[in-house]
Chain A
C-alpha cells in the first residue's frame, strides 16, 4: 500500500497545563438519556486516577469525550489544548485510549500493522514508525509477536498489544476502559506490573477495586452521570456505607 505522510509536526502538550481539564460537561444520548450531568474534573500530569462506579454511571461516556468520540456541552482541555474540531487530530495523538474488548481495538491483519496504525496516521516516517512499534511491543513484552495475527493471541496478549497500539503514539495520557476484565490472575498481575512501570498520566475505568487499591492513589467515583467522590483512594475504600450506596465493594 502507498504511504501517505502529512509531515505535520507531532502535537505538543502545553507545559504545566493539566493533562485533563473538564468543566461542566453534559451529554445526552440521542434517545434522551442524560448520561453526564455537569461533570467537572482536573487531572495533573503524571497523576494516576481510578474511575469507578456502577454500570450505567457514565464512565465510558465520559472517557469517550476525552478523545472527541462523543461531544457534549461543556469545556474539555487535554494537556492545555481545547477539544475542538480543528484540534481533534492533535488531541487524539495525546490521548491513548484503550477499549475494553481487545477485539474492538485490534482490527489489523497483523500485530505490527495494528501497532503501526496510530504512528502512520500521525505522519511519522518509516524508520520512526518501525522504531516506535518495536519499542511499544517491547514495553508490553510482546516483541516476538509482531508478525502474528491478533485473533491468534490469548486475551491477556491481546490486552497487552492493545496497550502497545497507543503507546506507539507516544501519548500524554492513557485512558483505559476495564483493562483487567477477562484476565486470569496471572494476566491481571502482569497488567498491574506493566501499568505500574509506566510514567504516564492514567485514567482507568474499572470494577476491579483491588487494581484501584494497588495502582491509583486518587479515585473518581461516578454515579448517575455525576462525580460523587474525588479524592484519596484509601479514604473511600474504608467507607463501607458510601461504597454500598454507590454499588461498589471493598477490595
Chain B
C-alpha cells in the first residue's frame, strides 16, 4: 500500500528544489491544456520529449516503479477504445464479433492513439509532480494557492487515513477468510446472494468504523485546541530561480500548444 501511495523520490534534483506552487501550477496547466487542446501528433511528441527531458533522472531512480504506476491510466485509455469504430473516416478493417458489424476507420485509429498518448502524458506529469514533491508540501501548495482550507484538510485527512482504512479492510477480509472453511465433499462459499450480503455487511462495517474513527480524530483535534483551521508553520517564498522556472514552464506550455496545432 505504501509503495502504491508514497511516490516521493528523495533525490537532489533541480525540480525537487523548485517552489511547490510552480510545480503544481505547471502540472495542472499541462494536464488541462493537454485535455482541452486538439493536439496533433507533432504536439504530442513535443510534449513527450519535454517531459522526458526533465523526467530522466527521476525515472533513473524510480526505475520499474514509475513505469508500473504509468499503468494506472490503462483502464481510462481502454474506455476510449470505442472511438476506433465510432469516428467517421476511411474504413481500414472490418470485425464482426457476435454478429456485430464493427468497422475500424483511419481517423478512429489516429484519435484513439491520440487519446492514449494524451492520457499517458498527463499521468507522466502527475507522476513527475508526486515524485519530486512530498505530500505535505503538496497540501501546503494548495493552501498557498488559496484553495479553501476545508478542502485541503479533507485531502490531507484522506491521504493520512487511507492507510488506516486499508488496514481496517484487510482485517475484515482476513476475518472472513479465516472462517471461510469448506467441509470435504461439500460445496462451500454459499450462494451469490448470501455472498453479496456478506460483502455488503462488511462495507457497512467499514463505513461505521470509519465514522467512529472520524469522531475520535475530531475529539483528539479539539482536545489540542482545534478551532476550524489546520495551522502550520511551513513558509514558502518564491526565489529568483522559481520565477525563472515559472516563466520557462509558461513558455514551454505555450510552445507545446502552438506546435500541437501545427
Contact = CB atoms under 8 A, between A and B. Distances in A.
Interface of A: 1-4, 64, 67, 69, 89, 92-93, 95, 97, 99, 101, 103-105, 107-110, 113, 116-118, 120-122, 126, 129-130, 149-152, 165-166, 169
A166 B220 CA distance: 10
B57 interface: no
A79 B142 CA distance: 41
A109 B217 contact: no
Given A99-B216, A107-B160, A151-B160, A121 B223 contact: no
Given A99-B219, A108-B160, A118 B225 contact: yes
B234 interface: yes
B165 to A, nearest CB: 10
A126 B233 contact: yes
A1 B143 contact: yes
14 contacts: A1-B230, A1-B232, A3-B231, A4-B231, A92-B225, A95-B223, A99-B220, A103-B161, A105-B220, A107-B161, A109-B139, A120-B232, A121-B224, A121-B231
Interface in B157-182: 157, 159-161, 163-164
Chain A CB within 10 A, most for which of B136, B156, B164, B220: B220
Contacts of A92: 222-225
Contacts of A150: 160
* Most central of A109, A110, A129 by chain B CB within 10 Å: A109
A93 B233 contact: no
A32 B229 CA distance: 33
Contact of A121 (B136, B225, B233): B225
B164 A113 contact: no
Given A89-B225, A92-B223, A104 B213 contact: yes
Contacts of B211: none
B225 A122 contact: yes
Contacts of A117: 221, 224-226, 230-231
B206 to A, nearest CB: 15
B227 interface: yes
B140 interface: yes
Contacts of A152: 2
Q: Majority SS of interface residues in chain A?
A: helix
A69 B219 contact: yes
Given A1-B234, A109-B156, A104 B229 contact: no
Contacts of A103: 161, 164, 213
- The size bracket of the interface on B is 20 to 34
Nearest to A6: B227
B135 interface: yes
Interface centre among B217, B223, B234 (most CB of A within 10 A): B223
Contacts of B216: 99, 101, 104
Contacts of B157: 107
A109 to B, nearest CB: 4
Interface string B190-227: 00000000000000000000000100110111111111
Contacts of A69: 219, 222-223
B233 A120 contact: yes
B144 interface: yes
* Most chain A beta carbons < 10 A, residue from B156, B163, B231, B235: B231
Contacts of A165: 224
Nearest to B227: A121
A130 B2 CA distance: 29
A242 B232 CA distance: 50
A105 B219 CA distance: 9
Interface in B117-168: 135-136, 139-140, 143-144, 156-157, 159-161, 163-164
Given A107-B217, A121-B231, A151 B163 contact: yes
Contacts of B140: 1
A165 B221 CA distance: 11
B241 to A, nearest CB: 23
Contacts of B159: 109
Contacts of A105: 220
Most buried by A among B144, B161, B222, B233: B233
